[in-house]
Amino acid sequence: MAADNRGLAPRKQPRQARAEATRQRILTAAAHVFAEYGYAAGTTNRIAERARVSIGSLYQYYPNKDAILVELLIRHLDAGAAAVEARLGGQLPDSLEETIRLFVRASVDNHLDDPQLLRVMAEQGPRTPELLDRVSRHHRARVASVQELFERHPQVRVADTYVAARLTVASIELLVHQLLAAPDPVDATRFENELVAMLTGYLTTDR
């Protein structure tokens, strides 16, 4: 979706708790409205009504619904990155299979709250340079961390750990987005089990 990037930045950064609470209410309302009505019908009037603020108050914070969706996308990305970093920073299981399961589950958990909203964000969200840069930075950091893990894990048998890390990260990200946000989503537990088995088999097979 093409858009003027100047109209995609929040207008007002809250400095007081009350203002921040209003912004949070607008974002929460927008998430529900987009999930319920879709992006085209998810108007700022509906968002303001759901947030219990005037349309004028909403426009003090965001110039349009594109800017609201961009912020929801950025928060979604940051939450996913934080979940993965927390797992990498903690004590990982000795088993490669259980380690892969931690990463898969982190991604699944970050998408379970509202898969309909996820589909709106993935299919209709504005693609701003800032957002694309953030996606790229998150992806590169995750690949680097996973490659480092593969290089030191005794159960990993692949020779090219860089390509293996990229395949693993891309498989988790893309399949979670595609299958959990589908109109007929796969059961999350069955999806997790099969994806973990697929990746573990690939990483531990001698070539």
The pLDDT score that the predictor gives to residue 146 is 93
The CA distance from 74 to 69, in Å, is 9
Query: Which one, of 188, 195, 39, 48, lies nearest residue 116 by Cα?
Result: 39
The CA distance from 137 to 143, in Å, is 10
The pTM for the full model equals 0.75
The CA distance from 8 to 68, in Å, is 8
Residue 160 — φ and ψ, nearest 5°? -95, 90
The pLDDT score that the predictor gives to residue 15 is 61
pLDDT along the chain (207 residues), means of 10: 48 69 92 87 94 94 90 83 76 92 87 71 73 84 92 95 96 86 83 96 90
* Alpha helices (H) along 90-128: 96-109, 115-124
* Alpha helices (H) along the chain: 17-41, 44-51, 55-61, 65-89, 96-109, 115-124, 129-152, 161-180, 188-204
Q: Are 171 and 195 in contact (CB under 8 A)?
A: yes
The pLDDT score that the predictor gives to residue 4 is 46
